[in-house]
Every structure is written in structure tokens, then in C-alpha cells.
Amino acid sequence: MKMVFRWYGEGNDTVTLAQIRQIPGVSGIVWALHDVPAGEEWPIEKIMAVKKLADRYGFNVDVVESVNVHEDIKLGLKTRELYIENYKNTITKLARVGVKVICYNFMPVFDWTRTDMAKGLADGSTALFYENEKIKDMDPMELVKQIASNPDLTMPGWEPERLRHLNELFEAYKSVTDEDLWQNLKYFLEQIIPVAEANAIKMAIHPDDPPWPVFGLPRIITNHENLRRLLNLVDSPYNALTLCSGSLGANAENDVPGMVREFVDRIAFAHIRNVRRFDNGDFIETSHRSADGSLDIVEIMKAYHEGGFTGYVRPDHGRHIWGEKCRPGYGLYDRALGIMYLWGIWDTLEKRR
Ligand code: DNO
């Protein structure tokens, strides 16, 4: 496996490349042009600038997370043609700096959703939390207002640009069923996968987080059967997965090691994190350690190892520990601890081989 670390860019992240370089075994940064709105073509100069910076620290830029998909594509509107064209051009440009994997998602309107960015854990740290009842009763506009009024709450995927047209978007999605969303995803993939293939870039879809509908919006990348369906929409190794253990694992019915075993050849990118699930459907993100959460991270790593996984891995969200002020879930310390846990498991498995 190739270990990589998500980095939001200079001036946009509390973690520095100099710090990341001191985490053992990290070969690349997972990056994006966070200031380019979804649907627009990425400017080559900006892409080159990230590459130049990464080179200075000896990091590869193989994995991009994310090139966001414009809502018109998900909604299947006529205007999608322009945005698909832009997407294709971005893929081609990313190939010029050696990108190998593009992570994206197909969640309507919102990306990942939580109700509390800093819920206290018993050890005094804080972590991202999802409270089922709260979401059920919540007007999404309320959540958006909270986020807009508190810069510390910024979550990727909840960019102001995306949220500006929220009412219209909700209106537009009213008539979109799960099946429509599948059709729109198929249409998108049929157009972009040949371009990805020609550029040797794997398109790795991220599962929906949490893996169930929120605010009445459809969500389809949620379980084993649907991952299988996704891979069959376009049967190419370039139509691949970002298998996120924490997203899928929020639903106790999802057998994450089983998914890894079945799909390992089509997983381009592994997001690894643990979550503790509660009986009422709430969940909180924990340290990576198996004993701390509901997911057996050792078993998940074993499944990757047995499958001969050679793709990219990143520690996913971490807790906020040792007083660190950082983007929710994206501090330095707990993700670095997570990496050492993952390496510990992996190196032991390697030695036993
Ligand atoms: C959350 C991330 C997601 C992910 C997107 C992929 O921390 O895992 O925001 O980047 O869903 O497009």
C-alpha cells in the first residue's frame, strides 16, 4: 500500500508539508484546488503550482480529492454537457502532472454530514459526531446557517458556493428518485471513463457519508450491493472505488472487510478510520484502534493485505487531541497516530507472509 495524507493547501490548512514529511512512510499528499467551484475546469497553472510545492518536499501528487461533480450532472439537466466537458478537460490536465487517482462523490447537495464537529470523548479529546434525531428534525438551512456563521465549522463539500442555491437545489431534487440518480451517474461515467482510461487515471467514487438518505435527498453509494452495481455501470478498471471504512461502517449492516475482499482489485484508494456506533443510530469518530470503535481495523487491513492491495491509503478523520486547533477531523496528531497504527498492522502482516 502507498500511504498518503490529505492536505488542503498553503494558507488553507493548519498542517504544514514540513510536518507531514516527518510522519513515517508518507509518500504523497492528497490534494485539490479547493478554490475552484464545482463544474469549472481546473487551471493548469494552479495544478502546476501544487506539483512544484509537493516536489520541494519530495511528495507525489498522485491522488486528487476531490474533483467535485456539478449538481446539474447529478440532476441530469441538459446543462450537464458543459460541466462534463470541463470535467474531461480537468482529467486530461491532471494527467500532465502524473495524477493516478481522482476521488469524487455523487451525493446530492451535501457531502459528508455531521451534527457536531467537536463532541467530547471520555479521554478529553473531541471528534466528529452524528446525532440521528437531530438530523431528522433539522431544517438543513439551520445547519448551513451555523456553518456560515462559524468559519471553524467549515467542512469540505459544504463550500459557500454550493450552498448559496440551496432552496432551488432542494426543489430540483424533489422529482429525482434513486433510479434517476443511478441513470445520471451512468451517463456521467460513460462519458468520463474513456477519458480517464486514455489518461491512465482511476476514477474512485467515495461512498455516501453517512450511507443513508439525509434531509430526504436520495443517496445510492451506500452498501455492498450498490457498490457492485456501480462497478458494473461501466466495467473498466478505471471505474473504481474509494473505499471509506468510516462512511460505510456507520451502518452496522455493512461488512467492510467483506467489501474489501470482494472489490480489492477495483479499490484505488482506501480511506481508513474507525467509528463507534450507538444503538439509536448515532455514531462518533474514534481513534483508528480497533478496540476504540465498532470497526475491526485489523480485520480490514488483513483483507487488504490478503488481496495484495497496492493502491493508496490515507488515514481518514482523526480526533482533535492535545489541544490542537485544526479543520474538523483533519488535525495532524491523531491522523499521524492513525498512520502508525496502520503501518504497525501492515508491517506485521508483511513479515508473516
Ligand atoms: C470527508 C471526505 C469527503 C470526501 C468526498 C469525496 O472528510 O472524506 O469530503 O472527500 O466525499 O468526494
3-state helix, strand, coil in the chain (%, to 5): 40, 15, 40
Pocket test for ligand 1, best of 33, 65, 106, 221 (most atoms within 8 A of CB): 65
165 counts as catalytic: no
Positions of the chain with pLDDT lower than 50, given as ranges: none
Taking the centre of ligand 1 as the mean of its atom positions, its distance from the CA of residue 206, in whole angstroms, is 7
Q: Which of 211, 212, 213 is nearest to 243 (CA)?
A: 211
Atom of ligand 1 nearest to the CA of 156: 9
Confidence (pLDDT) at 13: 97
- Active-site annotation holder among 70, 130, 206, 304: 206
Active-site residue, 316 included:
yes
Q: Which atom of ligand 1 is nearest to the CA of 111?
A: 11
Tell me how far the alpha carbon of residue 205 lies from the centroid of ligand 1, in angstroms: 10
Look at the chain and count its residues: 353
> What was the pLDDT predicted at 162?
66
Which amino acid is present at 297?
Answer: I
Cα 33 to averaged position of ligand 1 atoms, centre (Å): 14
- Are 246 and 316 in contact by the 8 Å Cβ rule? The answer is yes
Q: Distance (Å, rounded) from C-alpha 306 to C-alpha 312?
A: 16
| pLDDT number for residue 155 | 60
Distances (CA, A) of 44 to 48, 98, 226: 6, 13, 35
Ligand 1 midpoint to CA 209 (Å): 8
Intra-chain end-to-end CA distance of the chain, in Å? 15
| Residue 330 Cα: closest atom of ligand 1 | 7
Domains annotated on the chain, with CATH? 2-352 (3.20.20.150)
Number of the ligand 1 atom closest to the C-alpha atom of 209: 11
Alpha helices in 64-177 (DSSP H): 71-75, 80-95, 132-137, 140-149, 160-163, 166-173
Inter-axis angle of helices 178-198 and 224-233, nearest 10: 50
pLDDT of residue 141: 76
pTM, two decimals, is 0.96
Indicate which residue's Cα is closest to atom 1 of ligand 1: 112
Cβ neighbors of 67 (< 8 A, separation 6 or more) are 32, 42, 87, 90, 91, 94, 102, 104
